[in-house]
Amino acid sequence: ARISLRQLLDHAAENNYGVPGFNINNMEQGIAIMEAARKTASPVILQASRGARAYANDLMLKRIINALAEIYPEIPLCMHQDHGNSLGTCASAIQHGFTSVMMDGSLKADAKTPADYDYNVDITRKVVEMAHACGVSVEGELGVLGSLETGMGEAEDGHGAEGVLSHDQLLTDPDQAVDFVAKTGVDALAIAMGTSHGAYKFTRKPDGEVLAMHVIEAIHKRLPNTHLVMHGSSSVPQELQDEINAYGGAIPQTWGVPVEELQKAIKMGVRKINIDTDLRLAITAGIRKTMSENPAGFDPRSYFKPAYALMQKVCEDRFEQFGTAGNA
Ligand code: G3H
Ligand code: 13P
Ligand code: ZN
């Protein structure tokens, strides 16, 4: 059944668990996520970026989601716009049946340049007005995601802020968060505390210097009714890096956010944990292995099947680790 992000995360907050927000671009990812949800009885957040909507086509994506909702009727399903950059993107998502939208006003509409606070408040408030009138939830973002190690935003994979940013920009300020929520009325708030999108988050296992966990506690204390969201929360599992590299890949050694840190974050009040990269690594590992072991093969089903299995394993692990399991 379709539910809004507010409904889903209210239940998570009452019962002290977290919910992964998994990115979807195609049928294979969708089935892997939903199979894992069925196996572990977990509620699901499927989220589509603007890139995903363009890749899959809005109509195709909508039909995939409708089919998943029909095939897995027992699973509470929230369909969420990831990183909306304008009122129009959020409006068209709602028209296609999304039950939640993110208005990321931490960046300007080009999705690269850090935006000023007033712009963020203004555009986010407009999206909230529109979305709430339709019974759709809204996630906002305050603070620019980026590495506390280098001060770099996310030029690497083509989105996020460019250039060197100050710690002020990279860490969400709790006082400002309180003001932002009061002025916009968002249901959920993405905070910046040292994570970044993509596989290359940290050059070593992150410690308190590069992963500012205290920011979560400080904001949650002040905003107990606003659901906190952690972006850039892939763990970038070593075994997937190794598997990809064993079969012809060339991924330089890198570190993501360790699962135990995500579990601490949930204890501190984080409810939605965004994961895209880990599923990208899993699908790639499965395809690389099969292709390399059977170079004469060319039936796409033969390499998507093992890729499904690896994605499903990541999803099952996160549902169990975040306490999502058993709540569907
Ligand atoms: O925002 C980050 C997600 O990983 C989506 O990435 O824009 O390449 O689809 P994408
Ligand atoms: P990862 O790149 O760490 O998977 O983060 C995804 C994300 O934040 C999507 O909004
Ligand atoms: Zn994100």
Q: Which of 4-8, 29-33, 112-116, 182-186 has the lowest mean pLDDT?
A: 112-116
Q: What is the pLDDT of residue 148?
A: 87
Q: What is the pLDDT of residue 219?
A: 98
Residue 56, ligand 1, Cβ within 6 A? no
Pocket test for ligand 1, best of 55, 101, 103, 157 (most atoms within 8 A of CB): 157
Q: Which residues surround ligand 3, an ion (CB under 5 A)?
A: 231, 274
Q: What are 116's two structure tokens?
A: 């000023």
Helix axes 214-222, 174-184, angle to 10 degrees: 40
Q: How confident is the prediction for the chain on average, in pLDDT?
A: 96
Whole-angstrom distance, CA of residue 175 vs CA of residue 312:
39
* Residue 31 annotated as binding site: no
pLDDT in tens, 235-253: 999 999 999 999 999 999 9
pLDDT in tens, 63-109: 999 999 999 999 999 999 999 999 999 999 999 999 999 999 999 99
What mean pLDDT is predicted for residues 124-132?
98
pLDDT in tens, 133-191: 999 999 999 999 988 887 877 544 445 667 788 888 899 999 999 999 999 999 999 99
Cα 294 to ligand 2 centre (Å): 32
SS3 letters for 207-247?
A: CCCCCCCHHHHHHHHHCCCCEEEECCCCCCCHHHHHHHHHC
What mean pLDDT is predicted for residues 275-302?
98
Q: What is the pLDDT of residue 155?
A: 45
Q: Mention the CATH class of domain 5-321.
A: alpha beta
pLDDT in tens, 41-67: 999 999 999 999 999 999 999 999 999
Asked whether 325 and 40 are in contact (CB, 8 A), the reply is yes
Residue 159, ligand 1, Cβ within 6 A? yes
- The full set of domain ranges for the chain reads 5-321
Q: What is the pLDDT of residue 147?
A: 84
Whole-angstrom distance, CA of residue 88 vs CA of residue 103:
10
* Residue 99 annotated as binding site: no
Cα 222 to ligand 3 centre (Å): 23
pLDDT in tens, 209-218: 999 999 999 9
Catalytic site positions:
82
What mean pLDDT is predicted for residues 294-302?
97
Cα 81 to ligand 2 centre (Å): 13
Is residue 118 scored above 80 in pLDDT?
yes
pLDDT in tens, 195-205: 999 999 999 99
**Cα three-residue angle 324-325-327, rounded to 5 degrees:** 75
Q: What is the pLDDT of residue 164?
A: 82
